[in-house]
Amino acid sequence: MMLPDFPRVKRKIAKDLTAYLRRKVRNSDPFIRQIRVQEIHEGHRQIMRTYEGIIDETKFHDIGSEFTVPKEEIIEEGPEALMKHIDKLAEDILGQQGRIMFQKMHEITSITGNIAGSPNTPFGPDLLLEALSKIAVEFDENGQPANLMVVMHPDLWNKIKDKVPEWEADPEFKKKYDAIIEKKKREWLDRENHRKLVD
């Protein structure tokens, strides 16, 4: 006996699951969520120019994973069995994206020398200010830093999270921070004005 096939239904389910997977990967990490996305439909590489004027060529990476859902799980859990595996798939893809991204950031910062401290430098207010002084900062329509965040390993965060309020309350730290932000705002305005003139 031949069982009926439902190709249109299967295509619709595949489309919906793919859209769900994309949203899950995109929205599961606050850092990844802040990164602008641009679809490139052809080619095998991307070329970009850093703020320092360095040209970098990056070949595209294949990111993927696979899973199987035992029929026993489908019988026992229904659609939830499939969604559970797709959520794990999203975590795997997100981990691959993160590793590739941080590896590329390490390569670029090594080339540009845009590195704060050294491997043995303990993370503290001075290192944070040094790191801030080395990055390009964008500002919103209210003149406030836009999407400014610090990304660190959870173990490091657990070590310093109780100290951060002390740093922020220190008048000397606040003075240095405000001076850096003011300098970054002038640099950003210069870039924006130049960009508008070029456009």
Query: Is 144's pLDDT higher than 80?
Result: yes
**Locus of tokens 């730290």:** 173
Query: Domains of the chain: which residue ranges?
Result: 7-112, 125-198
Query: Is 161's pLDDT higher than 70?
Result: yes
Query: Is 81's pLDDT higher than 80?
Result: yes
Which distant-in-sequence residues (6+ apart) come within 8 Å of 157 by Cβ?
none
Which distant-in-sequence residues (6+ apart) come within 8 Å of 49 by Cβ?
55, 56
pLDDT, tens only, 32-53: 887 777 777 787 888 877 766 7
Helix (H) or strand (E) holding 57: strand 55-59
- Residue (of 59, 67, 60) closest to 21 by Cα position: 67
Query: Is 130's pLDDT higher than 60?
Result: yes
pLDDT, tens only, 95-111: 998 888 888 888 888 88
Confidence of residue 2 (pLDDT cuts 50, 70, 90): low
